Structure 1
């Protein structure tokens, strides 16, 4: 990835990992002048937010709190991996579903 692109989009990419409010703010910040690095991390975080919501409202309700807690810890580890990638200026895909997130949310 081009160093200038990373430098321009790094702040937006980092903001996208700070709660769902940060993700929405990053989407708005990236809407006027698209940055491929920021878009990459926004897509990763949108996928994590979606999985978190499914875990909270579906899995925990139907499969129990223990399974929901285990999945929440896994999602937190994936969030840390994505956040560290944004801070380092890397387009590091989240293990397991990072490729799908890029495909599913490619319009962002």
Structure 2
């Protein structure tokens, strides 16, 4: 039986592979999420990850500020969660997976169509 070569990653409207551009949506959190939401016009995969990154990191930053102001150490815990989520988001996007974080993933799917 002949080996089937791996499928080439799809190119985006910006000329990058989808998985690379998806990874980049998480690199600077909400900032790169917003940038790719504005720049990427064709790839649903990249736009989903950009929207998820934006919602996720804005939400976590707000939570970190509130919990940090009220309960101190909980703000630090949220910061550690942000690091884990950041790494998971980049890995899943790079692997070409449309991974949905709880709650945020569903919101991203709904909102990306409206933007």
The alignment's TM-score, normalised by the length of structure 2, stands at 0.71
Given that 2:24 and 2:32 are in contact with CA atoms closer than 8 Å, whether structure 1 keeps it comes out as yes
Given that 1:59 and 1:68 are in contact with CA atoms closer than 8 Å, whether structure 2 keeps it comes out as yes
- Unaligned segments of structure 1, at least 5 residues: none
Residue number among 39, 45, 56 corresponding to 1:37 in the alignment: 45
- Structure 1: distance between partners of 2:76 and 2:27: 20
Does 2:34 match 1:24? yes
Alignment RMSD (CA, Å): 2.3
- Unaligned segments of structure 2, at least 5 residues: 1-6, 12-17
How far 1:29 sits from its partner (Å)?
2.1
Number of residues paired by the alignment?
102
Larger radius of gyration: 2
Given that 1:16 and 1:22 are in contact with CA atoms closer than 8 Å, whether structure 2 keeps it comes out as yes
Does 2:17 match 1:14? no
Given that 2:27 and 2:86 are in contact with CA atoms closer than 8 Å, whether structure 1 keeps it comes out as no
Structure 1 segments (4+ residues) deviating >4 Å: none
Does 2:100 match 1:100? no
Given that 2:37 and 2:51 are in contact with CA atoms closer than 8 Å, whether structure 1 keeps it comes out as no
The alignment's TM-score, normalised by the length of structure 1, stands at 0.75
